[in-house]
Structure 1
Amino acid sequence: MSTMNISLPDALKAFVDEQVAQRAYGTSSEYVRELIRRDQDRLRLRDLLLAGAGSAPGRPADAGYFEALRGRVGAAGKARARR
């Protein structure tokens, strides 16, 4: 694992220390890693939303759509149960 040193103003350092204590992180590094993971997730979600917004419209999600979906899920569950 690589290390990275960062400089923080006193107010931000105090905030990080407070979050570590209140949220039961073991270290400030754990807290920062969690923030980075959340940012990665946010960016992935943003990319998915943009891709969806730029794609052609799909068929409507009406009662027939959900009935077919339930059928596929039920069939997959039965297939797994047979294994």
Structure 2
Amino acid sequence: MKGYVLLFGVGMLTACTSVTAVNSRQDGHLMVTSRARWDLVSWNRVRTAGLNEAEDYCEKQKKQMHTVEIHSEGLRGVTSQSVEVIFDCI
């Protein structure tokens, strides 16, 4: 029973954010944007979703992710939150 509750909790957390596909920028870096689907989602959760997507992308290429910049917008409970992760796979 505890396993089902844990899986449900993890599923709900991932449903709280949306993440774009990884895109190339003109300056040679890669970028991914994560957004909160609900106003009550914490900035940390939105940031973590973007970082996880960047790490997964680099791991598929058997490389390590190096964060270049992180930009955030929005205010919890007031406006939509989004986080832009700019990174390289080294």
Using structure 2 for the length normalisation, give the TM-score: 0.27
Of structures 1 and 2, the one with the larger relative CO (CA 8 A, separation 6+) is 2
Larger radius of gyration: 1
Which has the larger share of helix?
A: 1
With structure 1 as the length reference, what TM-score do the two structures score? 0.29
